[in-house]
Amino acid sequence: MAKFGNQFPDKELDSISSEEVLSFLTSLNNTCKQLTKHTRYAYLKALFNFIRNNLDAQLQNPCDTPMLKKLFRPGKLAPWQIHEKEVIDEIIFRTTKVRNRLMLELIARGGMRVGEVLKLTAMDVDDQKLTVRNAKSGRSTEVVFIPKKLADRLKDYLKDKGTTGNQRIFPITYTAARVMVSALVGVRLRPHDLRRHAATYASRSGVPVEIVSKVILRHANLSTTQRYLGKVSDVEAVRWVENLYG
């Protein structure tokens, strides 16, 4: 919004045309993904709607044109591949470097984002409870719970490395972490695939979706969590029906 104000410092809002909005958004979104373009367009459209609804009922929203709606509509989300538990387990067990294995497990077993793993410090670790600071949700802190075996290995790693206080446990870059994950095996794998695995495996194991959402993924609403969960195959559907009623 600040950039929009800087672009039109001396213009009245009701004098801004759709062409000017298009020019502004095009220059702003030159290298962005379609979803980012849509989000910025939606914010700008919401600003004009707010002013019209609360301050000036005669204001015409320059964002509300068929051309802009079409140009900045949300792109189709590519389907995420959900990897089976056996595949993820094999990837983790075959990872011999302790640091890398811990990072993989914190994402795949704790549902953490790779950025959260990289920001972890020694003071954030309290046995099976990890504190995430400056969380993506906007909260100052969030809590992640991890399995006991993983907590013990993490504790040993901190002791071996002499990491204490506010020192980062994994002092590498985000790019290096992504490269580390993609180079581990022959399958196409991204760090966020592991976080999705944590949610899908928990859900398929019978964990209530509320727990998956609020505890494992720490989402604000269930609709976001449902987008994370993989599609149920026919074979899996039959297996669940047999388990329930067979």
Taking only the tens place, the pLDDT of each residue in 20-43 is 989 888 888 777 778 888 888 998
Q: Does domain 85-245 fall into CATH 1.10.443.10?
A: yes
Residue type, 17: S
Q: pLDDT confidence of 244, banded at 50, 70, 90? A: low
Domain limits, CATH 1.10.443.10, in the chain: 85-245
Q: Which CB contacts under 8 angstroms, 24+ apart, belong to 166-171?
A: 166/121, 166/122, 166/123, 167/121, 167/122, 168/118, 168/119, 168/120, 168/121, 169/120, 169/121, 169/122, 169/125, 170/99, 170/102, 170/103, 170/117, 170/118, 170/120
* DSSP conformational letter for 13: G
200-223 pLDDT per residue, tens:
888 888 888 889 999 999 988 887
- What integer pLDDT is reported at residue 46 of this predicted model? 92
pLDDT of residue 119: 95
Say what the pLDDT of residue 240 is: 65
The pLDDT, as a whole number, for residue 104 is 94
pLDDT at site 139:
86
Q: How large a percentage of the chain has pLDDT more than 90?
A: 36
pLDDT, the chain, mean: 86
27-41, 118-132, 142-156: segment of lowest average pLDDT: 27-41
Interval 103-118 mean pLDDT: 94
Estimate to the nearest angstrom the gap between the alpha carbon of 86 and the chain centroid: 24
Cα–Cα distance, 39 to 72 (Å, whole number)? 8
Rounded CA-CA distance 192/211 in Å is 19
Choice among 16-25, 74-83, 89-98, 141-150 with the minimum mean pLDDT:
74-83
Residue percentage of the chain with pLDDT more than 70? 90
Q: Which residues on adjacent β-strands are paired with residue 132?
A: 142
- Mean pLDDT throughout 134-151? 91
pLDDT tens for each residue of 70-79? 888 887 655 5
pLDDT in tens, 157-202: 999 999 999 999 999 998 898 888 877 656 678 888 899 889 888 8
pLDDT at 122 over 90: yes
In whole angstroms, what is the distance from residue 157 CA to residue 125 CA?
A: 12
Question: SS3 helix, strand, coil % of the chain, rounded to 5?
Answer: 55, 5, 35
pTM above 0.95, yes or no: no
Q: Are 137 and 218 in contact (CB under 8 A)?
A: yes
Q: Which residues make Cβ contacts (< 8 Å) with residue 213, sequence separation at least 6?
A: 219, 221, 222, 224, 225
